Structure 1
């Protein structure tokens, strides 16, 4: 009895367009002022947009961090605030490359962050501490091990 032939999946071709680039990460928060103040004080990033419901900061790399009032953010999505998960810890993490993990962790805590995990060496070669920023976003503070 012959064995059935398995069809191979079609070959994927690269997109004809330029691949996308990460330009902006937006976080929805309950207290826009507190969250913005935290990020500016922690990072020193320039505020490039300052609207009543939205603030935007630019990192030296050019990537932007948007801080959006949760009540206005949901309007873009067409849902109610209650539909937008507002748990105590977001299932998203911002991974910041820093010169000194311990000093940056102390600074974050002094600015109102909550400690989630003390600095520890990770298998991928970074020393990382985790804090919870105002608004519930997990922030990893990382530097290459031994730096």
Structure 2
């Protein structure tokens, strides 16, 4: 089996706040914006997409309209510390400050306005330890 597209969508109550969070923090571009769905695209020509859907929209089953838990979304960036500084300036709720992890990534954790746990990371080398 092959895929032509894989798209992550998160559920949110405040679409505008989530849209602005991802645009400001990670540089996403708004590809589509409505009162029930926002489609974001990466600023590079990689065709990476990220969606935000109104939590109470009819397309979201009632049993799944709860706050997110038991999952997180990872964004691999070129400079995690730079993004961390943006998150601090935005007064985003930081869950974990940047640190080098055993598996070769430097990461920090932040909550988006919908309460979704976001992992922002960059590879690091032994020399940076």
Name the TM-score, length of structure 1 as normaliser: 0.74
Structure 2 residue matching 1:129: 3-state secondary structure: strand
Q: Report the alpha carbon displacement of residue 22 of structure 1 after superposing the two structures with TM.
A: 4.9
Q: Report the alpha carbon displacement of residue 50 of structure 1 after superposing the two structures with TM.
A: 1.1
1:60-139 matches, within 5 Å, as 60=44, 61-72=46-57, 75-79=58-62, 84-86=65-67, 90-139=69-118
Structure 1 residue matching 2:118: 3-state secondary structure: strand
Moved over 3 A (4+): none
Cα-to-partner distance string for 1:121-142 (whole Å, 9 max, x where unaligned): 1121111111111111111111
Count of residue pairs brought into register by the alignment: 124
**Cα–Cα, structure 1 residues 78 and 85, in superposed 2: closer, same or farther, change >3 Å?**
closer
Structure 2 residue matching 1:26: 3-state secondary structure: strand
Which is higher, the Rg of structure 1 or of structure 2? Answer: 1
Unaligned 5+ residue runs, structure 1?
1-17
Taking the aligned partners of 1:112 and 1:36, their CA distance within structure 2 comes to 16
Residues 21 and 112, structure 2, Cα contact 8 Å, conserved in 1: yes
Q: Report the alpha carbon displacement of residue 103 of structure 1 after superposing the two structures with TM.
A: 2.0
Unaligned 5+ residue runs, structure 2?
none
Name the TM-score, length of structure 2 as normaliser: 0.83
Query: Counterpart of 1:7?
Result: none
Taking the aligned partners of 1:36 and 1:139, their CA distance within structure 2 comes to 14
Q: CA RMSD in A?
A: 2.0
